[in-house]
Structure 1
């Protein structure tokens, strides 16, 4: 398609160049009849318009298709990268690539027909000037080469500024995310808000603006420098050519009209350099992100595999260890070694202080993090990259930083709406939220109610293993009691395994086992006598 688009754009440019010659011929009282000139004029105008429309429509389809494909490819790659690597790359880098970078690439692709038309006009105009006088065309060529070299020098500096601006944009997006995620903390602390605005947002936007202005100014200088050279060329034609030899009035008129006409297409080509410069840097950043994703990818984001019931007989962590660096600490935090086994219908509580490794263990159990040492066995079979995605289908999880979708996507049961309404009643949400065609009427409710909606999704998924990370922390006392004394026992009675991260010592008696993590080390507390409970409570509050 890109070849057809380029050819139609070149034809449009050729029609433009031919129009210049036709106009000059008409002005110089050509011997051709008026009917021939009018017919040629109409044909060239129609040809230019049709080919121009065709080239732009074709490229619009191609550009939007290419951009959609790029976004889909990046999304699929992100889904195929382990969670730890996605966290390391940074959400802000991914968001910039999927939004601004892809937008800049799109704008450059959409500009290709216009640039091609302008280039074709410039080439056609040069050919016409050569027909009038090849010696003068040669002199113009020397001037163009000089202008091109000086233009390139200016462009090099402009591209450096664009690159620096793009680096600042990564930082800016990270601050935008801090703004949305930390809006409550910023509103509550005036000094923090002041520093955030003055040092983070203000300084970064100032630097971003500075680099962009530098780049745009260099583009403007370069463009106007070339305009100056063109006017110099017009002056030479008007005042020096007659003194160098016999020049016909027709040739003089042709040169002046053609050069003045070509200034428009030249300005279009020069003006597009800023656009293509940004697109080039954006493409480089997207490729870097793609390479980072490809290098980190150890999984396949399977989407077409038929959903089936996942068998669960046992899950075992054998000598599992995982290391990562805590903030403001020079040494690595090591979780483990962990030896842990789960079976169907078990209710297991995990407790421990902040930073003890509870959430990390939850991500290892669910297959989101990989153990650096040891292994996970599912129904006696080792979990590795070949079966990790199948293993993850075992779990319905609600993490402390969960995301709530506004529809029940991926759940294709025929009685979805009816079952969802039944669970909404059970979760005391039927008076606020309804479900129609698998779509929730709203998700703009309190955090505790949002967690209940997440539990609704988990219920409908109906998987063998449930993980709740501090789920009850945002619930009122009444529903907290419902969760521990009714909902969890009901799941257990249905043969579901529940792994619950909690600080609610009041309900420890409900668990089959209580596991405590203390700075990455695990201990079992099977018998909760008075002494054990007394040592446990301080660690969890």
Structure 2
């Protein structure tokens, strides 16, 4: 099984010890049955000695089986803990492009449902491991006791497994379908949470989302989990009935056909009854084991970045004066008959301390350029150079550390970090809150914001503060001022940006605020995936009407 292979790959020594403990428990269990058959049924020898020996066997059995179960539970949950850490680390190391292809709903489903399924499987693992080894030891004892009865019993149980396998296949089929339905349910949850305002304003949309999408996926999950449980119940009942039937078969062959004595038949029956509990438990655990296997397949299908030992500290690229994009290209592939969209080739040089504005219509490629510049998107062609030196693949993470950003879809973290993840000084935080006019609205303690539930404009101010506290060389602002009131928008362009420039920061601001174009050292324009610099009369003509007329092909 894939789950056991994965567990054994990194835990050979402890798992070998657990198997040895389980083997000892199984041998002791069979020894208890044999002791009952040889000593207690006939009551031969000293009674006190016999009773003490029996109690001693029971004590050894409890100790060995208990130790094996504790060890396997501990090992299993440590494995799940490492798996969860590994998955989150791989998500953090995976390129933005791949994460956007996967979608947030699938990632959340794997982080929650798939990890939960694997955890549940490990809850059953000690019992299953013990039951498997016990069955092997017990059947070995039965084969020694009476080969003829063992042969007919093995054939009977083989028929049991053959029919049971049909039920197991049905269970596996429906668990796969319900796991697909679960992915769709997470997409529905995300739509309901992210679109709560639009759904509150449009009850028709809310009704259609609920009735046509959510209810469809919820019914698919319900139907498949019901069928999986039904087939699993049938498998359990079939196994239970056939195990009891094997006892009748043993006595028929022993008494009716004279294959064995009554004592041997009684021992056979006792042993089979003893095995009934672990066999039925195995059948009951099958859905969890199948779900865990499917969850592992789902995790592999995410195709995340390879696992690394840890999230290492990234070295700095050092001081710089000029950053160049040379012939940078990027392509959005088309879907079906829809044509793709090409960005570039782009040639751009940013110098330290420059204040650069980037304008362009919706879909012209502005945000794509920002992502290419910051290294969030890997270019399909061209080079990125720092002071004339080409950035190599192994330097990509270090290159990204030059940037801080506030994108339109930013996330506001509550923890405040300084340069190189250092603790921030409260006085510096206070200065920024004063600059952003948030001193009396925002509380922070122990390096964290006490609350992040503010208006979008205020959240953007806090996001800007977090970006500046990191003290990166280059700041990317994607339509940052769009949610600010006119008074603070003026303060941003006339006071904050000049202060950042004076501090030696390079700022690339995507903006449509033509009233403040005079603040920029340079004015760039994206149009149809191509970059142009507006100078002289072209810059003077970059009025609000001209900006509105800029066309594009895809959302930027």
Q: TM-score, normalised by structure 2?
A: 0.89
Superposition deviation, residue 425 in structure 1: 2.6
Q: 3-state SS of the aligned residue for 2:329?
A: strand
Q: 3-state SS of the aligned residue for 2:543?
A: helix
Q: Deviations over 1:40-66 (max 9, x none)?
A: 332233222222332222223322222
Could you tell me which of 5, 16, 24 is aligned with 1:11? Answer: 24
Partner of 1:533: 543
Matches of 1:338 and 1:470 in 2, distance apart? 21
Could you tell me which of 483, 491, 495 is aligned with 1:486? Answer: 495
Partner of 2:506: 497
Does 2:193 match 1:185?
A: no
Partner of 2:482: 473
Matches of 2:196 and 2:158 in 1, distance apart? 55
Q: Deviations over 1:391-437 (max 9, x none)?
A: 11111111110112221257544653332233223222222323333
Could you tell me which of 295, 301, 304 is aligned with 1:282? Answer: 295
Matches of 1:35 and 1:300 in 2, distance apart? 61
Q: 1:184 to 1:343 in 2, by over 3 A?
A: same
Matches of 2:483 and 2:309 in 1, distance apart? 33
Does 2:131 match 1:121?
A: no
Partner of 1:212: 225
**C-alpha contact 1:219 1:271 (8 A) present in aligned 2:** yes
Q: 3-state SS of the aligned residue for 2:542?
A: helix
Matches of 2:230 and 2:450 in 1, distance apart? 50
Matches of 2:247 and 2:292 in 1, distance apart? 34
Could you tell me which of 510, 524, 536 is aligned with 1:515? Answer: 524
Superposition deviation, residue 496 in structure 1: 0.9
Q: 1:410 to 1:273 in 2, by over 3 A?
A: farther
Partner of 2:376: 368
Q: Deviations over 1:245-288 (max 9, x none)?
A: 27544334333333223211111122122221111111122223
Superposition deviation, residue 184 in structure 1: 1.7
When structure 1 is superposed on structure 2, of 114-123 and 489-498 the one drifting more is 114-123
Matches of 1:178 and 1:61 in 2, distance apart? 38
Superposition deviation, residue 470 in structure 1: 1.2
Partner of 2:402: 394
Could you tell me which of 335, 339, 342 is aligned with 1:331? Answer: 339
Partner of 2:73: 60
**C-alpha contact 1:22 1:37 (8 A) present in aligned 2:** no
Could you tell me which of 168, 179, 192 is aligned with 1:155? Answer: 168
Matches of 1:472 and 1:209 in 2, distance apart? 47
Superposition deviation, residue 516 in structure 1: 2.0
**C-alpha contact 2:315 2:398 (8 A) present in aligned 1:** no
Partner of 2:554: none
Matches of 1:437 and 1:125 in 2, distance apart? 61
Does 2:33 match 1:20?
A: yes
**C-alpha contact 1:9 1:114 (8 A) present in aligned 2:** no
Partner of 1:382: 390
**C-alpha contact 2:332 2:340 (8 A) present in aligned 1:** yes
Q: 1:137 to 1:530 in 2, by over 3 A?
A: closer
CA RMSD in angstroms, aligned pairs only: 2.7
**C-alpha contact 2:317 2:399 (8 A) present in aligned 1:** no
Matched ranges for 1:58-457 at <5 A: 58-239=71-252, 241-245=254-258, 248-289=261-302, 292-294=303-305, 303-305=311-313, 308=316, 310-325=318-333, 330-409=338-417, 411=419, 412-413=421-422, 416-457=425-466
List alignment gaps of at least 5 residues for structure 1: none
**C-alpha contact 1:443 1:450 (8 A) present in aligned 2:** yes
Matches of 1:36 and 1:472 in 2, distance apart? 89
Matches of 2:74 and 2:166 in 1, distance apart? 35
**C-alpha contact 1:421 1:435 (8 A) present in aligned 2:** no
Matches of 1:339 and 1:405 in 2, distance apart? 34
**C-alpha contact 1:154 1:222 (8 A) present in aligned 2:** yes
**C-alpha contact 1:320 1:336 (8 A) present in aligned 2:** yes
Superposition deviation, residue 469 in structure 1: 0.6
Q: Deviations over 1:15-57 (max 9, x none)?
A: 3333334445566242133323322332233222222332222
Q: 1:377 to 1:32 in 2, by over 3 A?
A: same
**C-alpha contact 2:418 2:424 (8 A) present in aligned 1:** no
**C-alpha contact 2:417 2:466 (8 A) present in aligned 1:** no
List alignment gaps of at least 5 residues for structure 2: 1-13, 552-556
Matches of 2:356 and 2:259 in 1, distance apart? 101
**C-alpha contact 1:79 1:301 (8 A) present in aligned 2:** no
How many residues are aligned here?
A: 536
Q: 3-state SS of the aligned residue for 2:385?
A: strand
Superposition deviation, residue 320 in structure 1: 2.3
**C-alpha contact 1:503 1:540 (8 A) present in aligned 2:** no
**C-alpha contact 2:149 2:253 (8 A) present in aligned 1:** no
Matches of 2:480 and 2:503 in 1, distance apart? 20
Q: TM-score, normalised by structure 1?
A: 0.91
Matches of 2:502 and 2:550 in 1, distance apart? 28
Matches of 1:157 and 1:378 in 2, distance apart? 59
Q: 3-state SS of the aligned residue for 1:495?
A: coil
